[in-house]
Structure 1
Amino acid sequence: MAPTPPPPSSMLFGMTASDVATVLAAMATVAAIFAIYLASTVRDPMAKRVKALNERREQLKAGITASTTKRRAKLVHQRESTDRMRSLLQGMKVLQDDQLKTAQEKLAQAGIRSKDLAIAIIFGRLALPIVFGGGAAFLLYVVGIKPDWSDFKRFMVFAGALLISYKAPDIYLHNLITKRATAIRRGMPDALDLLVICAEAGLTVDAAFGRVARELGRAYPELGDEFQLTAIELSFLTERRMAFENLAKRVKLDALRGVVTTMIQTEKYGTPLASALRVLSAEFRHERMMKAEEKAARLPAIMTVPLILFILPTLFVVILGPAACSISEKL
């Protein structure tokens, strides 16, 4: 005899209670395995950098080096492209010096040293809305890909395409700046401790910055690059104050601005550098501990949503499912 199918009252979306419990248990198991994998796997921030250096070393050993002519041709081609963009923007009278300076500062804060790319950022704000907005208008109003949409919904989609395409370069730069500032913030206490040691050892400020850049370059590449550039500027700029101010402009970080202010006051008034840096280092470590405690205090509120969405329904199905099936069969 064929097996008797379960009564319709015990079915949920074409599945029985045991099938639903099995699916939810499988999803919970996969989520738990993925969480354990993320917790046990710690990514090395220097792994990619070390791999690139090893590949470059192998290329140099094999004699495969990029020729100077090709690099020069690439730079010339990039300069010609930016010159064409500049001439087009100037012809349309949309290129302003303040706007160009702001874009260059954002590129420096994102770790991009080329100032010519500021022209590409401004040109992207002009070209991307035309491309994506025009494409959205063509698809919505000419091709009519969604004939069931109302006029208001089509207009909102068109306006959203224009706004997102206009803000896309700024959003991309903002993400780069935020990631770079976060990476630099992590290494600030260690950098200040090394600066204190170098100052107590009798090194000059530019030599101390260079030493810290070499020591922390592998653990914190972004901070090492900024300190190395500051050490170079300290060695050839006429005013040392300009080098510290350039460091504050290149990094969008309030903590680093406090360090720069301390260094400028030390250079101006001759106050002890080691004691001031030691106080700043203690403050930064305390701030980092406070942020860790704040994240730990936010964890119960964050876990409420996964608990309600994934854990409680599974418990309800497992505990109440058999009882509901037996009650429905008797009734």
Structure 2
Amino acid sequence: MIELIETIELPVLAAIFAGLLMFGLIFYFWQSRAQARARAEVRKRLDISSRKDRGAGSGAPSAKRAAGAFATRIANRTDKYYSVNDPGQQRKMQMRLIRAGYPQKGALGYFLAARLCLGIALLLAAAGFVFTFLPEKEMTHKALIIMLGAAGGYFFPNFYINKRIKEREAENRRGFPDVMDLMVVSSEAGLTIEASIERIAQEISRTYPILSEQLQVAAIEVRAGKSLDEALRAFGERVGLEEVQGFATMIQQSKELGTSVSDALRVYSDEMRHRRMMAAEEKAYALPAKLSVPVTAFILPIVIGVAVIPTIVRLTTQ
């Protein structure tokens, strides 16, 4: 790592540092202008009055309360920035957080604030490490290590969110065929799709808690007045599986064409079980190819040594 850092020339490092500095300045002034344009006079008065009431009713805030208020302000500012300047990107990031298991209202703001604060914290930690333990290095190499630490802290929350999304999607993909089987049983028993969703959400609460939670949300949306097609489509977006979106499309087409929902569910359930079996067979067939690497790296040299070393010993002792 140190040799790679030492090979980087000074002009390249200066260009990288100048680019990051320019990006930070542009981001700061752009955010300030967007907030000044989006904030209305009524909201200002409301914020001022609420602050006065809190100041009059409470004494000196504790350190924990002050830290929570500071984090909330950062989260609100970052959330307002994306809602004003890039609502499409805000919607995508909110959906990613929902799929990762953070459906709270202020989850996006806290995620952006955590990304910013963690980047600054690791920047300071890298700076302290460099100036404490590597004082003999050149300034360009120190600046590069500091920037690598800041970049690692900035992108670590994204890595964590992506990891959680993959884990939850894998669990949902394992449990959705069982949900379809229960849906077929409920439909043949005479229950409607809405009642089946509520019943299945209760039955799978222990085995597949993520799917159970999302099914309960879909049932609540249907009770609140949303149509079944929209609730199932939103359920597919929250879960992030193509199979669930296909299930919502299948239910909609069955209602529009007047076909039997039970037959459609049975066919779709068989397809889901077939897909799960194919995925298991694919993993089984890929196992020999994966085992070839450790066999070649660890077992083959030992076998060759056992076969060749006695011959070498005999030739050298004669």
TM-score by length of 2: 0.69
Q: Secondary structure at the match of 1:217?
A: coil
Q: Which amino acid aligns with 2:75?
A: R
Equivalences for 1:21-36 in 2 at 5 Å? none
Q: Following the alignment from structure 1 to structure 2, what is the Cα–Cα distance between the partners of residues 265 and 296? A: 36
Q: Could you tell me how far apart the structure 1 residues matched to 2:313 and 2:285 are?
A: 41
Segments of 5+ residues of structure 2 without an aligned counterpart are: 1-64
1:165 pairs, out of 142, 147, 153, with 153
**Residues 98 and 314 (structure 1), Cα distance of their counterparts in 2 relative to 1, 3 Å cut:** same
Distance 1:110 1:299 in 2: 29
* 2:176 corresponds to 1:188: yes
State yes or no: 1:121 paired with 2:105: no
1:324 corresponding residue in structure 2? 312
Paired with 1:159 and 1:77, the residues of 2 have a C-alpha distance of 29
- The total of aligned residue pairs comes to 252
Match of 2:73 among 81, 84, 96: 84
Q: Is the 8 A contact 2:233 2:248 kept in 1?
A: yes
Structure 1's 159 and 235: CA in aligned 2 closer, same or farther, altered over 3 A?
Answer: same
CA distance in 1, matches of 2:179, 2:70: 40
Partner residue, 1:199: 187
Q: Which amino acid aligns with 1:303?
A: L
1:221 matched to 2:209: yes
Q: 1:291–1:87: structure 2 CA closer, same or farther, 3 Å change rule? A: closer
The one of 296, 316, 319 aligned to 2:284: 296
1:107 aligns with 2:97: yes
Matched, 1:130 2:130: no
Equivalents in 1 of 2:204, 2:268: separation in Å? 18
CA distance in 2, matches of 1:307, 1:189: 36
Superposed CA offset, 1:122-179 (max 9, x none): 1122222222134324433x3352746895x656544433332222111111111111
Q: Which moved more, 1:76-85 or 1:305-314?
A: 76-85
Higher fraction of helix: 2
The reply on whether 1:315 has 2:303 as its aligned counterpart is yes
What SS does structure 1 have at the residue aligned with 2:259? coil
Q: What are the superposed Cα offsets for residues 31-88 of structure 1, whole Å, 9 maximum, x if unpaired?
A: xxxxxxxxxxxxxxxxxxxxxxxxxxxxxxxxxxxxxxxxxxxxx9998465322355
Cα offsets for 1:245-279 (capped at 9, x unmatched): 22022111111111122223334454321122222
1:237 aligns with 2:237: no
State the secondary structure of the residue aligned to 1:182: helix
Q: Kindly provide the CA deviation profile for residues 10-43 of structure 1, in whole angstroms up to 9, marking residues without a partner as x.
A: xxxxxxxxxxxxxxxxxxxxxxxxxxxxxxxxxx
Which amino acid is the alignment partner of residue 273 of structure 2? R
3-state SS in 1 of match to 2:105: coil
The letter of the residue matching 2:202 is R
**Aligned equivalents of 2:290, 2:163: Cα separation in 1:** 23
Distance of aligned partners of 1:196 and 1:79 in 2 relative to their CA distance in 1, 3 Å threshold:
farther
| Structure 1: gaps (5+ residues) | 1-75
Q: 1:95 to 1:210 in 2, by over 3 A?
A: closer
Q: Verify the 8 A CA contact 2:194 2:228 in the aligned structure 1.
A: no
Q: Paired residue for 1:261?
A: 249
Paired residue type of 2:73: R
> CA 1:133–1:320 in 2, change beyond 3 Å: closer, same or farther?
same
* Greater CA drift, 298-307 or 97-106: 97-106
Larger CA deviation: 237-246 vs 296-305: 237-246
Query: In structure 2, what is the Cα distance between the partners aligned to 1:262 and 1:130?
Result: 49
Cα displacement (A) at 1:325: 2.6
CA distance in 2, matches of 1:250, 1:78: 31
- Is the 1:82–1:116 Cα contact (8 Å) retained in structure 2? no
Identical aligned pairs, as a percentage? 31
Residue 143 in structure 1 maps to residue 117 in structure 2: no
SS of residue matched to 1:203: coil
Root-mean-square deviation (CA, aligned residues, Å) is 2.9
Is the alpha carbon distance of 1:204 and 1:81 closer, same or farther for their aligned partners in structure 2, counting shifts above 3 Å? farther
Q: Which amino acid aligns with 1:123?
A: A
The answer to which structure, 1 or 2, has the higher relative contact order (CA under 8 A, 6+ apart) is 1
- For 1:323 and 1:256, how far apart are their aligned partners in 2? 63
Aligned to 1:178: 166
